[in-house]
Structure 1
Amino acid sequence: MQPKLVIVLVVGFLVAAIVWFSGVLDQHLAPGTKQAPAPYSGQTQRVGSEPVVAYEAVPGQVIAQQNTKVAARVMAQIEQITVRAGDRVEQGQVLIRLDEQELTTQLQQAKAQVQALQASFTQAQKQLKRAKELFVQGLISQSDIDAATANHDNLSASLQQAQQRQQQAQIALGYATITAPISGRVVERFAEPGDTATPGRDLLAIYNPQQLQLEFAVRERQAVNLKLGDMRQVEIPALGVSQASELVEIVPAADSASRSLLVRLAAPQNAQLLPGLYAQLQLPLPQHEAVMISPQYVYSYGQLDMVLVVERQQLVRRYVRLGRVIGDQVEVLSGLRPGDEIAIDAKPSRL
């Protein structure tokens, strides 16, 4: 046999063996292999883009335009506090009574001193008048006149000072009864009967519920486009309130740290509105093109959102990031492009 023929036969035998063992000639799938999925033949919807107006949600809070802290002007023990947090008060209503004993004693002492000095001053007036008469008659010298005049002037000054102290003691006694400076509602009570009230220490906090506002720190780029009288949408989630409110105040100074300006809007008329409640201001952003789809085509898995798209007639999971819900559609921020095909009839369980 020719050597070349032997080589050809050996090579042919090896190729046949490799083909046989590789399973190319086998009509059945090997165990553990997965059959290719069938092409998707259901309905689809082509994704497009459309112009939308997005809104920036600016966080803020309800504030009281008129609020005040009630404090004592004299140091004394608290005898009675007539209100608690949540109570409504009228301007001039008695809120707190302090112990008047020490203040009354000080007033009585001041009065007694004034009476004593008044008697001495009256006597000094008489002496000065008599000294002047005697001096005219030549019975006393000029030095006697000078002494009588000095005594008269000293007692006059002392009497004036005593009268001022009496007036101050009278005013201090009046401070023992503390009344409401405004009509409103008590926010908090900082002291109890038996405590010692000192000047500058807050005892009560009161606000006027008829003068509430909404306050927001708006980015300076947005704030410079606002003007007084603008109507903007505001929301108070805790009360389910959403309405347009008027811009009533813009603080004319920017915060250098946050690069924002404080703006205040009129608060909604709601009996449940309270200072400190969370609020949101909706400010429109420039119009832009966005991919919008129906939320029914979005499937959520924990914090992930997914849609089914068709690529080369096959279903493919596509994870997306969603934005605002506008009407009956939701904005897709990433994960879908205009022209993609969404599978309408498919469900994730089929994959």
Structure 2
Amino acid sequence: MTSAMTHSASRWVYRLAAIACSTLVLAACGKHETDVVRQKQVSVVNVSASSGPGQWQVPGQVGAREETPLSFRTDGKIIERAVRLGDQVAKDQVLAQLDPVPARQGHDSAQAQLAAARKGFEFATSQRKRDQQQARAQLISRAQLEQSENAYAQAKAALTQAEQQAAQASDRLSYTKLKAMHAGVITAEHAQTGQNIAPGQPVYSLAWSEGKDVIGDIPERLLASVSVGQQASVRLNALPDQVFPATVREIAPAADPVSRTFRVKLTLDPDAVQARLGMTATILFTYAEDAGASPRFSLPATALFHDGDVPAVWLVQQSDSTLVLRQVTVISQGANTVEVSGDLKPGDMVVAQGVHTVSKGMKVVASQEQAS
């Protein structure tokens, strides 16, 4: 009996020992798996200082140097549009037509009034001449001559008024035809056939100058580095391998109320014959670095993060491979790269991809990427 109890107790001891060992093994495995999960693999790039003159860029678009909205000078209903977007037009070519019936009726009425006024003036002129002759022969009284003079003055005034009204009616009739003021190309359509429009309401936009501009918007922080007459370079997105010279000719005196940017227009080199109106472009500005200025670092645009409203980058601490957030100042930003300054030094590693998927203090495994 005693031997059986001893054997049973031994089996329970063995079972408890086995459970304890299994628990320790599972705990060790769980800790190993947690460490693996916490060590996220990230793509990093080594920080290197930028050398030479600084360069920044903004997007732009090719536009006409002179572009004018075309509109009718009278109201009415559009019954015909003779040209379409992109059409080449000649000077004085008819582009659109309003319904001419109301204007023609006014014109015919004014012409009838003019004819009557001319007849009245002719009669008053003849009567005045006869009365003057009879007055000199003392055949009529002075009062009768004054009546003739007064009738003549009234008829002359009526004729002048009728002539002015007839001229205005003729103008209104001619205003029912919209003509091109210059030879050029139609760059926009603003109204449709059958539409009732008011005087001055745009129907087309006409680009009529030979030269072309590149138009871009400059952020306020970079405005001080741009001046009229400054040289720049333009790369057309349709021709990425070619760079064309351009010159700043105009800077907006006030910022756009929504974007808070300043519009700048650059004269494109005449040799850029491949540039077509509406093409998108990249405007490249070069500036000299001030002596004693903070070092500049060029990074992939995907490396830029924001700590609230402040730009920052994720820095990999080489001592323990954990992440810290370093605030930076953006000097310029392009489509694929960003130039920054701040508490960085050559050789530092920053996260280049997936900056929104990591967090402060995270342990990472760095995978090198070539810097742009």
Cα distance in 1 between the residues matched to 2:144 and 2:173: 43
Task: Select between 145-154 and 63-72 the one with higher mean Cα deviation.
Answer: 63-72
SS at match of 1:124: helix
TM-score normalized with structure 2 length: 0.62
Q: Which runs of 5+ in 1 are unaligned?
A: 1-29, 36-45
1:282 is aligned to 2:324: no
Cα distance in 2, alignment partners of residues 332 and 133 from structure 1 = 99
Secondary structure, counterpart of 2:92 in structure 1: coil
Q: Secondary structure at the match of 1:247?
A: strand
Equivalence for 1:266: 267
Against the structure 1 CA distance between its residues 164 and 67, is the aligned structure 2 distance closer, same or farther, given a 3 Å change threshold?
same
> What value does the CA root-mean-square deviation take over the aligned residues?
4.6
SS across alignment from 1:140: coil
Q: Which moved more, 1:84-93 or 1:119-128?
A: 84-93
| Residue 333 of structure 1, CA deviation | 6.7
Residue 174 of structure 2 corresponds to 174
| Letter matched to residue 231 of structure 1 | Q
Change (3 A) 1:126 1:290: closer
Which amino acid in the other structure matches residue 187 of structure 1?
T
Instruction: Indicate the larger mover: 216-225 or 73-82.
Output: 216-225
Distance in 2 between the 1:273 and 1:154 partners? 62
Alpha-carbon deviation of 1:259?
8.0
- Offset, 1:242: 5.5
In 1: Cα distance, 2:107 partner to 2:217 partner: 52
Q: Counterparts of 1:213 and 1:160 in 2: how far apart (Å)?
A: 49
* Residue 274 of structure 1: how far off its partner (Å): 2.9
Q: Which residue of 1 aligns with 2:86?
A: 86
Structure 1 residues 220 and 341 mapped into 2: Cα distance closer, same or farther (>3 Å)? closer
The structure that has the greater radius of gyration is 1
Contact 1:231 1:244 in 2 (8 A): no
Where structure 2 has 5 or more consecutive residues not aligned to the other structure, the ranges are 1-23, 33-45, 307-311, 351-364, 368-372
Partners of 2:107 and 2:340 lie apart in 1 by 78
**What SS class does the counterpart of residue 253 from structure 1 fall into?**
coil
**Residue correspondence of structure 1 range 291-330 to structure 2 within 5 A:** 311=319, 316=321
Task: Please give the residue correspondences for 1:1-351 in structure 2 after superposition, counting only pairs within 5 Å.
Answer: 31=25, 32=28, 51=51, 53-208=53-208, 210-218=210-218, 222-224=222-224, 226-237=226-237, 240=240, 243-251=243-251, 253-255=253-255, 262-267=263-268, 269=272, 271=274, 273-275=276-278, 277=280, 279-284=282-287, 286=289, 289=295, 311=319, 316=321, 337-338=345-346
Q: What TM-score results when the alignment is normalised by the length of structure 1?
A: 0.66
